[in-house]
């Protein structure tokens, strides 16, 4: 599998995504504010082979809210995993109960 095929496989596993424009529109933020969320470790972004910045939609609730406790997880995982690996970890579902790691971060009443 070459780099392009690997990236496509990861994108299929992790997506859907928002690009910068979509994220700014969805959250009603300025670019500066969204960059602050990324640099502050509250929002995960990944880069394509072409250098495009994408944001996994799974880290945002239906109304654009950031998932509670995601910042804590990103802080820990960024020390040992790259952004694509973190994105994959977030959406990975437990084979026993089908609940993703991201869903486990949400209060039980908000889980699907």
Query: pLDDT tens digits for 89-103?
Result: 988 988 898 888 888
More confident residue, 107 or 83: 83
Mean pLDDT of 100-112: 69
**Angle at Cα 21 formed by Cα 34 and Cα 47, nearest 5°?**
75
More confident residue, 39 or 4: 39
In sequence order, the 6+-apart residues with CB closer than 8 A to the CB of 48 are 7, 11, 54
Give the integer Cα–Cα distance in Å for 45 and 9: 17
DSSP type of residue 104:
H
- Cβ atoms of 83 and 44 within 8 Å: the answer is yes
Predicted TM-score of the model (pTM): 0.81
Q: Is the pLDDT of residue 81 over 90?
A: yes
- Cβ atoms of 50 and 41 within 8 Å: the answer is no
């Amino acid at each position: 599998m070459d780099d392009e095929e690997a990236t496509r496989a990861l994108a299929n596993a992790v997506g859907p995504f928002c690009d910068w424009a979509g994220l700014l529109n969805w959250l009603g933020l300025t670019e500066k504010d969204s960059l602050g969320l990324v640099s502050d470790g509250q929002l995960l972004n990944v880069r394509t082979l072409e250098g495009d910045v994408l944001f996994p939609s799974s880290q945002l609730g239906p109304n654009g809210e950031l998932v509670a406790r995601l910042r804590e997880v990103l802080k820990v995982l960024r020390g040992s995993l790259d952004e694509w690996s973190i994105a994959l970890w977030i959406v990975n579902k437990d084979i026993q109960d089908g609940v993703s790691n991201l869903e486990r971060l949400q209060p039980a009443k908000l889980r699907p």
